């Protein structure tokens, strides 16, 4: 598919990999049986489940006895964990507290706000100026009333990676359960639940080249979590609803491709991101990068262009065929500065000038060259008409 448009908004969603699309087709055509049915239509579909599941277990290094529940997205997974813990450990009075951070995705933030209305106490551990939550700060927030610690593995706006293994180890020393929202790390950095310190892990397929509408929730064996969707015995009773064979197959294959492509992500994709970022910082004055640069997902760059509005930049970039974003698409329409950037101590006026560029394995060096030129032209033009950039205060 040759196109002149350049897509650099892969943290919002990604293109479906051609191999993944092909693998889905039989289930959208002749292989439409319900995999829970006894007849041949059912058994034919069912026969494809174990390969998909093997791939999903492999993707996070999970042993067979653990559970991987295929669901609709990370929002569902995050809600399942938070609301499930509420029903199993908090509503009955055993515990009353959840620990999270102040830069989580709205699917955690708004679920916590909902639980606070039910009487749950929530501590939002602040990130430091580099965008990181430290294991010490998390440990200090945990009390003997804490039911759950829920932290993202990497932030969607800045790409900053939290020290999840160290945090999980600290949580394991306590009575609390540990959940990580791994939505922004699958296919970008190695992810493993092997050391058994992570109890729950969630992600969405469309962030790594599966289609939208399918994701997964990992649950460590021995941990009880009631389902969010009560229904049939699908997923071992952990999520009712007829299995979506096309989605499960797509998720399994996309996870496999992501795992096999990790080395490429950490070298070629990272090199493209670094070249893009370094050239912008060198050639455009008054620019800076948000978040700790040596602890970020290899595909993400969040850059402040002083004196110009993010929305105006996006509009111009879009006119020239370059797609990026001002932050989370989930917050589009909100006039407030990004709560993620202000949590890092970025002033609201500067946070309004931030653009998130997020690439994928499908971007090319030639696109990076063109994107750099487009960004340079855009910022030059907008600054030439910007009142704030031309007349600094004082």
Which residues participate in catalysis according to the annotation? 330
Nearer to ligand 7TS, 75 or 363 (CB): 75
Among the listed residues 6, 7, 10, 11, the single contact to ligand 7TS using CB under 6 A:
11
Map residue 202 onto helix, strand or coil. strand
Q: Which of 328, 363, 378, 386 binds ligand 7TS (CB under 6 A)?
A: 328
**Interface with ligand 7TS by CB under 6 A: which range of 38-46, 166-174, 301-309, 325-333?**
325-333
**C-beta separation of 379 from 305 below 8 A:** yes
The 3-class SS string of 1-19 reads: CCCCCEECECCCCCCCCHH
Nearer to ligand 7TS, 185 or 235 (CB): 185
Nearer to ligand 7TS, 193 or 201 (CB): 201
- Cβ 207 to ligand 7TS, closest distance in Å? 7
Query: d(Cα 42, Cα 32) in Å, to the nearest integer?
Result: 8
Which residue(s) pair with 200 in the sheet?
Answer: 179, 219
Shortest reach from residue 53's CB to ligand 7TS, in Å: 21
At its nearest, how many Å lie between ligand 7TS and the CB of residue 309? Answer: 19
The first and second tokens of residue 125, run together, are 């551990």
> Could you tell me how many helices (H) and strands (E) the chain has, helices first?
15, 12
- Asked if 104 and 181 touch (Cβ cutoff 8 Å), the reply is yes
Q: Which two tokens stand for residue 142?
A: 């945990």
For every residue of 288-331, DSSP letters joined together read: EE-S-TTSB-TTEEEEEETTS-HHHHHHHHHHTTEE-BSS-GGG
Q: How far is the CB of 119 from ligand 7TS (least distance, A)?
A: 25
Q: Are 159 and 359 in contact, with CB atoms under 8 Å apart?
A: no
**Closer CB to ligand 7TS, residue 219 or residue 284?**
219
- Tokens representing 156 are 């969607």
Size of the site for ligand 7TS (CB under 6 A): 17
Please list, residue by residue across 48-81, b when 16 or more beta carbons sit within 10 angstroms of its beta carbon and e when fewer do: bbeebbebbbebbebeeebbbbbbbbbbbbbbbb
At 227, list the tokens: 């389902």
What is the DSSP track for 150-168?
EEESB-TTT-BBP-HHHHH
The residues, any chain, with a CB within 8 Å of residue 269's CB and separated by 6 or more, are 298, 299, 359, 360, 361, 363
Closer residue to ligand 7TS, CB minimum distance, 55 or 206: 206
297 binds ligand 7TS (CB under 6 A): no
Judged by CB under 6 A, the residue of 97, 105, 259, 361 near ligand 7TS is 105
- Closer of 223 and 330 to ligand 7TS (Cβ): 330
> Which position among 67, 75, 300, 326 is part of the footprint of ligand 7TS (CB under 6 A)?
75
Question: Judged by CB under 6 A, which of 67, 150, 197, 204 binds ligand 7TS?
Answer: 204
- The interface region with ligand 7TS, picked from 54-62, 140-148, 239-247, 326-334 by CB under 6 A, is 326-334
Per CB under 6 A, 287 contacts ligand 7TS: no
Q: Name the phi and psi angles at 379, rounded to 5.
A: -65, -40
Are 151 and 182 in contact by the 8 Å Cβ rule? The answer is no
* 290 part of the interface to ligand 7TS, by CB under 6 A: no
| Residues 222-281 close enough to bind ligand 7TS by CB under 6 A | none
Assess 148 for contact with ligand 7TS (CB under 6 A). no
Contacting residue, 14, 79, 100, 107, with ligand 7TS by CB under 6 A: 107
Among 181, 256, 265, 277, binds ligand 7TS (CB under 6 A): 181
Residues contributing to the site for ligand 7TS (CB under 6 A)? 11-12, 73-75, 105, 107, 152, 156, 181, 183-184, 204, 206, 328-330
């Amino acid at each position: 598919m040759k196109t002149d448009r350049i897509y650099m908004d892969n943290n919002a969603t990604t293109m479906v990999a051609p191999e993944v699309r092909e693998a889905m087709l039989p289930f959208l055509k002749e292989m439409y049986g319900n995999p829970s049915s006894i007849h041949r239509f059912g058994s034919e579909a069912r026969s494809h489940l174990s390969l998909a599941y093997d791939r999903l277990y492999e993707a996070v290094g999970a042993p067979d006895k653990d559970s991987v529940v295929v669901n609709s997205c990370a929002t569902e997974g995050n809600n399942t964990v938070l609301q499930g813990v509420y029903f199993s450990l908090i509503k009955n009075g055993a515990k009353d507290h959840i620990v999270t951070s102040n830069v989580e995705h709205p699917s955690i933030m708004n679920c916590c706000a909902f639980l606070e209305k039910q009487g749950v106490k929530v501590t939002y551990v602040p990130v430091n100026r580099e965008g990181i939550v430290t294991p010490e700060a998390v440990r200090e927030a945990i009390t003997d009333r804490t039911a759950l610690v829920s932290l993202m593995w990497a932030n969607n706006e800045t790409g900053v990676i939290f020290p999840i293994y160290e945090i999980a180890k600290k949580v394991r020393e306590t009575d609390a359960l540990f959940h990580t929202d791994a939505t922004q790390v699958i296919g970008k950095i190695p992810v493993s639940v092997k050391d058994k310190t992570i109890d729950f892990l969630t992600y969405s397929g469309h962030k790594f080249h599966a289609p939208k509408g399918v994701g997964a929730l990992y649950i460590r064996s021995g941990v009880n979590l009631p389902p969010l969707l009560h229904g049939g015995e699908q997923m071992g009773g952990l999520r009712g609803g007829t299995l979506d064979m096309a989605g499960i197959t797509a998720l399994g294959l996309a996870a496999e491709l992501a795992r096999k492509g990790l080395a490429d992500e950490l070298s070629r994709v990272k090199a493209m991101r670094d070249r893009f970022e370094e050239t912008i910082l060198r050639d455009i004055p008054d620019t800076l990068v948000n978040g700790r640069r040596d602890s970020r997902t290899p595909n993400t760059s969040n850059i402040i262009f002083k004196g110009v509005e993010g929305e105006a930049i996006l509009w111009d970039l879009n006119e020239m065929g370059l797609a990026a974003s001002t932050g989370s698409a989930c917050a589009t329409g909100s006039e407030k500065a990004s709560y993620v950037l202000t949590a890092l101590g970025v002033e609201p006026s500067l946070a309004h000038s931030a653009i998130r560029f997020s690439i994928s394995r499908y971007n090319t060096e030639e696109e990076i060259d063109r994107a750099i030129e487009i960004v340079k032209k855009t910022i030059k033009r907008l600054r030439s008409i910007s009142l704030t950039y031309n007349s600094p205060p004082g």
